[in-house]
C-alpha cells in the first residue's frame, strides 16, 4: 500500500477498508506516514466525510495504538464525556457522585480547547493537583476512591494524541468522523461498561446547531455500540454558560468553587439549578446503563439524596487528596468588578464567544499549546435567557486584576447580555436524549 494512494482515494471521495485504516494508523505511529501526509488525510476527511464503517475502523485502530486500563474491581465502570462548553464543570461533581453509588469512574479528560474550558485546567487551579500519573498509580486510586480524573498520556490512544495536535493547528477539528474516533478511542481505552455523552448545542460549544449536534451524538452512540461500549447521548443547551440558580461561573478556580458549592448544599431537589439538574441527568443515564438502578426515577432520587448527604463532597476531597491536591475551602479569586443593566428588559442573548475570548485574553485559557494559565481569573453571569431584568440589576461580574477582561467588555462589538423589549422564552436545558 502507498500512503499517497490512500490520501488520493479519500481526496476523491473513496471509501477506505479496514486493512487500509490499519495500515494508515500503524504507519502514522511508526513515522512512515508523516505529519504532512496525515494533515492532508485529515483535510480530505473533513471535506468528504467518513462512512459509519470507516469511523469504526479508525476508532478501533486508534484504540489499538495504545493500551487499555486494567479493571481493578468488580464494580461497574462508567464515564461521561462532554463535547465542551462555557462553564461546563459537570465532571467535577459527576465523578465523585457516581463513585458514591458504587461505580468506578476512570475519567480521562482534556485541557481547554478554543473557548471551551478543560476539566484538567480547572482541577489544576487546586494547589498540588496532579493530572498525570502512571497506570499503576491511577489504578490504585480507582480501587480505593472509586474515581480519578487524569489526562491521556502516551499509553492511551497515542495515535489520537498526535492526530489531535495536528488537527488543532490545521483547521481539521470539525469533522463528525474524526471527533467520534478521537473521543471513543480514549473512552474504549478506559475499559468502560457504559458511557454517556453530553453533546452541547449552541454558541458556547463546538456544535452551534441542533442538527450538527444530533449527527455527532448519533455517530457516537452508533460507533460506541458497535465497539462494545453501550453509549447514550444527551443534547444540552450551550447558548448560555452552565451554572447554578443565580449565576454561572466561567474560568478555572471559579468553576471549582461553584462545583464545590453544589456538592456542599443540603438541598439537591434542583428544578431551578441547571448545573445540578444536568449532572444528575447525565449520572442517571450512565448508572442506569450499567444496571445499578431499575429505572431513571429511582436513579434520579438516589443520586439527589447522595448529593444532599454531603458524601459526594467528601468523595471529591478524597479524590483530590489522592491526586496530590490540597484544598482548604474556596480558591481565592482576583479582584471583582460588577456590571449592571442599563435598561429594563428581558434577556434575549448571552454573548458566549465574547465571554470565552475574554477569559483567553486574560490568561484563563490558551492561545497556543503549552501556555501557563492564570487560574484565578473568571467571569460570573448572573442572568439567564428569558429572565426579566430591571435597570440597575446585576448582569455579570469579572474577576481580574489586570484590565484585560474589562477592556474586552468595552471593545466587544455586541453587548455581553442583549436585552429585548418583549418577553423571550427560557431555553430548555435538555433538548433530546439518544437513543
Ligand atoms: N474532544 C476530543 O477528545 N476529540 C475531538 O476530536 C474533539 C473533542
Q: Based on the domain organization, do 176 and 244 belong to the same domain?
A: yes
Q: Based on the domain organization, do 231 and 88 belong to the same domain?
A: yes
* Ligand 1 centroid from CA 183, angstroms: 5
Question: Residue 174's domain is classified under what CATH number?
Answer: 3.40.1030.10
Q: Could you tell me the pTM of the whole model?
A: 0.96
* Ligand 1 centroid from CA 39, angstroms: 16
310-325 pLDDT, tens digit each:
999 999 999 999 999 9
83, part of any domain: yes
201-216 pLDDT, tens digit each:
999 998 999 999 999 9
Which residue minimizes the CA distance to atom 1 of ligand 1?
A: 183
Q: Based on the domain organization, do 399 and 294 belong to the same domain?
A: no
> Is the per-residue pLDDT at 419 higher than 90?
yes
Q: Does residue 186 carry a catalytic annotation?
A: yes
Can you give the length of the chain in residues? 435
Question: Residue 394's domain is classified under what CATH number?
Answer: 3.90.1170.30
Which residue minimizes the CA distance to atom 2 of ligand 1?
A: 183
Q: Does residue 182 carry a catalytic annotation?
A: yes
Per-residue confidence (pLDDT) for residue 246, from 0 to 100:
83
64, part of any domain: no
Which residue minimizes the CA distance to atom 6 of ligand 1?
A: 179
Q: Are 54 and 62 in contact (CB under 8 A)?
A: no
Which residue minimizes the CA distance to atom 7 of ligand 1?
A: 179
Environment class of residue 317 by beta-carbon count within 10 Å: exposed (0-12), middle (13-18) or buried (19+)?
Answer: middle
330, part of any domain: no
Q: Based on the domain organization, do 178 and 41 belong to the same domain?
A: no
Name the grid cell of 74: 468488580
239, part of any domain: yes
Q: Based on the domain organization, do 182 and 295 belong to the same domain?
A: yes
Q: Based on the domain organization, do 17 and 134 belong to the same domain?
A: no
387-402 pLDDT, tens digit each:
999 999 999 999 999 9
User: Which one of 186, 304, 306, 382 is the catalytic residue?
Assistant: 186
| Pocket residue to mutate for ligand 1, from 62, 109, 182, most atoms within 8 A of Cβ | 182
Return the minimum-mean-pLDDT range out of 16-20, 353-357, 363-367: 363-367
> Is the per-residue pLDDT at 370 higher than 80?
no
Ligand 1, atom nearest to 83 Cα? 8
> Is the per-residue pLDDT at 169 higher than 90?
no
Banded pLDDT at 53 (limits 50, 70, 90): very high
Which residue minimizes the CA distance to atom 5 of ligand 1?
A: 179
Residue carrying the nine cell digits 502507498: 2
> Is the per-residue pLDDT at 113 higher than 80?
no
* Ligand 1 centroid from CA 6, angstroms: 24
Residue carrying the nine cell digits 450538527: 212
Cα–Cα distance list, 96 to 91, 100, 250, 304, 310 (Å): 9, 6, 21, 13, 11
Q: Based on the domain organization, do 8 and 100 belong to the same domain?
A: no
Q: Are 391 and 341 in contact (CB under 8 A)?
A: yes
Percentage of the chain lying above the pLDDT 90 cut? 91
Per-residue confidence (pLDDT) for residue 352, from 0 to 100:
97
Q: Which of 322, 348, 370 is the last residue of a domain?
A: 322
> Is the per-residue pLDDT at 296 higher than 70?
yes
Greater confidence (68 vs 1) lies with 68
Q: Based on the domain organization, do 83 and 197 belong to the same domain?
A: yes
Q: Based on the domain organization, do 88 and 168 belong to the same domain?
A: yes
> Is the per-residue pLDDT at 378 higher than 80?
yes
Residue carrying the nine cell digits 469511523: 55
* Ligand 1 centroid from CA 179, angstroms: 5
| Pocket residue to mutate for ligand 1, from 80, 156, 159, 183, most atoms within 8 A of Cβ | 183
User: Which one of 75, 77, 80, 81 is the catalytic residue?
Assistant: 81
Q: Based on the domain organization, do 28 and 96 belong to the same domain?
A: no
Per-residue confidence (pLDDT) for residue 286, from 0 to 100:
97
221, part of any domain: yes
216, part of any domain: yes
- What domain range is 18 assigned to? 3-49
Q: Does residue 285 carry a catalytic annotation?
A: no
> Is the per-residue pLDDT at 247 higher than 70?
yes
58, part of any domain: no
Per-residue confidence (pLDDT) for residue 151, from 0 to 100:
93
CA dist., res. 272 & res. 285, Å (int) = 20
Q: Does residue 160 carry a catalytic annotation?
A: yes
> Is the per-residue pLDDT at 411 higher than 70?
yes
309, part of any domain: yes
> Is the per-residue pLDDT at 367 higher than 90?
no
Q: Based on the domain organization, do 285 and 175 belong to the same domain?
A: yes
Ligand 1, atom nearest to 186 Cα? 3
Q: Which of 265, 294, 322 is the last residue of a domain?
A: 322
114-129 pLDDT, tens digit each:
777 799 999 999 999 9
> Is the per-residue pLDDT at 368 higher than 80?
no
Q: Based on the domain organization, do 106 and 233 belong to the same domain?
A: yes
Number of domains comprising the chain:
3
Q: What is the arithmetic mean of pLDDT over 175-190?
A: 96
Amino acid at each position: 500500500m502507498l500512503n499517497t494512494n490512500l490520501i488520493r482515494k479519500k481526496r476523491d471521495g473513496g471509501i477506505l477498508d479496514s486493512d487500509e485504516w490499519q495500515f494508515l494508523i500503524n504507519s502514522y505511529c511508526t513515522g512512515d506516514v508523516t505529519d504532512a501526509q496525515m494533515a492532508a488525510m485529515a483535510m480530505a476527511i473533513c471535506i468528504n466525510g467518513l462512512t459509519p464503517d470507516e469511523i469504526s475502523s479508525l476508532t478501533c485502530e486508534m484504540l489499538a495504538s495504545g493500551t487499555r486500563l486494567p479493571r481493578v474491581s468488580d464494580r461497574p465502570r462508567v464515564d461521561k464525556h462532554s463535547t465542551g462548553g462555557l462553564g461546563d464543570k459537570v465532571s467535577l461533581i459527576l465523578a465523585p457522585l457516581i463513585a458514591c453509588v458504587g461505580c468506578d469512574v476512570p475519567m480521562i479528560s482534556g485541557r481547554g480547547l478554543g473557548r471551551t474550558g478543560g476539566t484538567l485546567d480547572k482541577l489544576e487551579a487546586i494547589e498540588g493537583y496532579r493530572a498525570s500519573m502512571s497506570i499503576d498509580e491511577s489504578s490504585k486510586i480507582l480501587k480505593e476512591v472509586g474515581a480519578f480524573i487524569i489526562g491521556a498520556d502516551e499509553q492511551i490512544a497515542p495515535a489520537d494524541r498526535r492526530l489531535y495536535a495536528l488537527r488543532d493547528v490545521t483547521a481539521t477539528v470539525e469533522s463528525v468522523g474524526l471527533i467520534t474516533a478521537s473521543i471513543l478511542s480514549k473512552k474504549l481505552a478506559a475499559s468502560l461498561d457504559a458511557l454517556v455523552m453530553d453533546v452541547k448545542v449552541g454558541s458556547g460549544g463546538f456544535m452551534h446547531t441542533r442538527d450538527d449536534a444530533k449527527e455527532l451524538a448519533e455517530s457516537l452512540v452508533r460507533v460506541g455500540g458497535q465497539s462494545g461500549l453501550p453509549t447514550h447521548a444527551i443534547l444540552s443547551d450551550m447558548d448560555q454558560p452552565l451554572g447554578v440558580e443565580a449565576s454561572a461561573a466561567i474560568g478555572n478556580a471559579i468553576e471549582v468553587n461553584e462545583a464545590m458549592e453544589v456538592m456542599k448544599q443540603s438541598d439537591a431537589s434542583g428544578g431551578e439549578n441547571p448545573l445540578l439538574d444536568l449532572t444528575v441527568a447525565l449520572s442517571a443515564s450512565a448508572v442506569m446503563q450499567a444496571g445499578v438502578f431499575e429505572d431513571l426515577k429511582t436513579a434520579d432520587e438516589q443520586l439527589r439524596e447522595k448529593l444532599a448527604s454531603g458524601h459526594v463532597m467528601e468523595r471529591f476531597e478524597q479524590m483530590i487528596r489522592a491526586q496530590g491536591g490540597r484544598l482548604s475551602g474556596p480558591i481565592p479569586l482576583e479582584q471583582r468588578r460588577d456590571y449592571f443593566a442599563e435598561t429594563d428588559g428581558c434577556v434575549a442573548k448571552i454573548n458566549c464567544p465574547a465571554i470565552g475570548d475574554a477569559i483567553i485574553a486574560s490568561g484563563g485559557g490558551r492561545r497556543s499549546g503549552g501556555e501557563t494559565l492564570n487560574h484565578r481569573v473568571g467571569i460570573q453571569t448572573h442572568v439567564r435567557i428569558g429572565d426579566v431584568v430591571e435597570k440597575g440589576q446585576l448582569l455579570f461580574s469579572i474577576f481580574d486584576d489586570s484590565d484585560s477582561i474589562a477592556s474586552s467588555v468595552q471593545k466587544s462589538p455586541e453587548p455581553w447580555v442583549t436585552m429585548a423589549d418583549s418577553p423571550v422564552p427560557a431555553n430548555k436545558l435538555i433538548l433530546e436524549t439518544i437513543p
